[in-house]
Amino acid sequence: MTSAATVAAGPGPERPAGPAVVPPAELLRRLRARAAVDPVTHVEEVAARPGITADWPPWAPAELRTAFAGRGVTAPWRHQAEAAELAYAGRHVVVATGTASGKSLAYQLPALARLLTDPRATVLYLAPTKALAADQLRAVAALELDGVRPACYDGDTPRAEREWIRKYSRFVLTNPDMLHHGILPGHAQWSTFLRRLTVVVVDECHTYRGVFGSHVAHVLRRLRRLCARVGSSPVFVLASATAGDPATAAGRLTGLPVTAVTEDASPRGGLTFALWEPPLLPAAPDTPEELATVRRSALRETADLLADSVAAGVRTLAFVRSRRGAEVVATTARRALDEAVPGLGDRVAAYRAGYLKEERRRLERALLDGDLLGLASTNALELGVDLVGLDAVLICGYPGTRASLRQQAGRAGRAGQEALAVLIARDDPLDTYLVHHPEALFGRPVEATVLDPANPYVLGPQLACAAAEAPLTPADLTLFGEGAKEAVEELVQVGALRQRPTGWYWRHRERPEVDLRGEGGGPVCVVESVTGRLLGTVDAGSSHFLVHPGAVYLHQGVSYVVDELDLDDGCALVHAEEPDWSTHARDVTSLSVVSVRSYADAGPVGMFLGEVDVTSQVVSYQRRRIASGEVLDTRPLDLPARELRTIAVWFTLSPESLAAAGVQAADIPGALHAAEHAAIGLLPLVATCDRWDIGGLSTAVHPDTEAPTVFVYDGHPGGAGFAERAYAVASAWLRATREAILGCGCEVGCPSCVQSPKCGNGNNPLSKADAVKVLDVVLANLPPEGQE
């Protein structure tokens, strides 16, 4: 997110020799022409806009203005100057403008001005990813300002460099994880830096949502607390993608009053945004009816579009939802390009979390230098890493929020170029709904960021961390907000804290173990058995699904098969193999109701919100033939169960109401199961989540409700705010669910309506027609506005 102000935009990275770049409109025409049936359901033209400049603020040092001019920045855009003025005046500010609007200049200007005018001052920069921090380090270092000494301090920083950074760097770039695990617990070694801290930058703050965001909110409060103890009170400058109510979200994140700057004054090239629905596959004569309506894989469609774009000389970034998916898209595109022009496949690569640091940096350089023309990435590159010169973005599946969709689409068209963005729909209820209802994407504001610092599953552990850093005082409880007093009392009761006249003290020798990202432990290393070579890592929460014994693991186009998963040592041993099958883990889930927070009585229908305990276990995996998707076999697994206490929304129906609607008793399980899948698929339409953030369960008679019940729950300890949002807009949510099922052209149910890619029961039983009847009963009895 390197600053873009009034620039005589230089040539940027030199393009390698190759075909001439195709204009976006022409590229889209070519891509559409290759399909037998036009896959484009809608094209949105986003007009170009000019930029509006402002004068440099009088307090900006001459050497800083000269340094920016040397990078092509002759004057700031109006929103950059406005945010910088607020921050320099001591007001906490969030700048929430579009991708490539130059938000980095808005915080670099006041932060660097402080460093240049006060030789003792320090600045702390926080980014959600290492890649973004490394990109910002390059940008600040390129200004070549005397005495600033910027440095990254994260898990990749060699031990030998860390002491130098603590003592001498005045602009430290890190992430919330290192702040939590390394800097705050070692605050005595950082006391000089913290005493002189004048500005804290929180970049891409819209990514701090859900449980992760709630944890980060308390990490920032812990930072503020330790700063206050050594006499400093830094100004917080936050940068966000366009978001709903950014001032409120930033205030909740920092615990401070924050002013929002939202009027984007930067120039923007035109954007052609297409919605793309992959075609239906022709069914073989003997195909079962429930499999007759299947669309071409979004992964395969994205890979083909990526290959076609690269072949046309168009620098393209493809966003893919999963690590495995990014590998598949890159590998498939490489093969197609090599078949057409041997060696052209080398211009495409995959990029994702779990790669080693050296590999990530090499890929980032290759893309910036133009050695790579195409990259298939997870959302690791959604954030503001400066990718100058991209012409097109392919988005494989709706990313879960309109904010993320706009952020990803905005990665193309830097320096005022025209650009192309294409959303390729997965065979999924929400994606299908959106490509046929473009007004849900383009006619509505982006979502507000959802986080809840009062979540007791976050607040208690964070207070324990704070007490381990320095004893808690009554004044600290006000800083940590609602629920802090009760959380401290509970920590005393369980023996974690000891109360003394001077405050609450941590009682144990070791520090509390708190995982900010809710991934259930440290990363699992993926190691090649024969050589002992470390290939990469997988987060603990995904390890049961991605690296179970027998799983196929992909890394930069090379496939490996897992021999052993050692959860105690956090290691998966693999060997290189090219099987003609893929693996898909299956799990089973049980749920019990702990308490009911809110309840709406709607006659034969009940709508509930409350706490639940969810137990899940990966019990087997399927092997499917790559070429056809044919299931070869199902093999058992012996992995430990996982338990989760979280928040759920659920509705019950009386058996009599279902019978009156024409749902036979034997069909109730399939009807509820289909309604559950579709409801999960449509929840991201009304809540800031994606379907992988949430889970569900349905049953014809649940022991706790004694009625037919559908549950949808947050997939994070203590909840993440998604179920509460679903309960608040239940009528609108379930009405959209019914519309999506009815609007699907299949006969008996397909991935576009009621089948789920994450179903542990193999999408059986399912009844599409009866799911509509279930939702008819619910909507007929809920008030028109539900609980809205």
Chunked into runs of 10 residues, the chain (788 residues) has average pLDDT values of 31 36 86 88 91 95 96 94 97 91 94 97 94 89 94 91 95 96 96 97 88 92 98 96 84 96 90 92 57 75 95 92 87 93 93 76 80 86 63 90 84 77 86 86 76 84 96 94 93 94 92 79 86 87 90 86 92 93 88 96 96 94 81 92 93 97 95 94 77 86 96 87 90 94 82 74 84 96 67
Exposed e or buried b per residue across 386-415, where buried means at least 16 C-beta atoms within 10 angstroms of its C-beta:
bbbbbbbbbbbbbbbbbbbbbbbbbbbbbb
Which residues on adjacent β-strands are paired with residue 599? Answer: 608
CA 588/CA 594 separation, integer angstroms: 20
Model confidence, pTM: 0.79
Sign for the pseudo-dihedral over CA of 565, 571, 575, 578: positive
| Separation CA 95–CA 79 (nearest Å) | 8
Tokens 């979200």 sit on residue: 249
Runs of H (alpha helix) within 647-728:
655-660, 668-682, 722-728
pLDDT tens figures, 507-553: 998 999 888 876 556 789 999 999 998 988 888 878 998 999 999 99
**Which tokens sit at 734?**
């379930």
Q: Which pLDDT does position 44 carry in this prediction?
A: 94
Name the residue with tokens 């979004």.
298
CA distance 771 to 691: 19
- Sign (positive/negative) of CA torsion 541, 547, 550, 552? positive
The whole-angstrom separation of Cα 365 and Cα 383 is 16
**Using CA atoms, how far apart are residues 587 and 590, in angstroms rounded to an integer?**
10
- Choose among 306, 309, 300: nearest CA to 279: 300
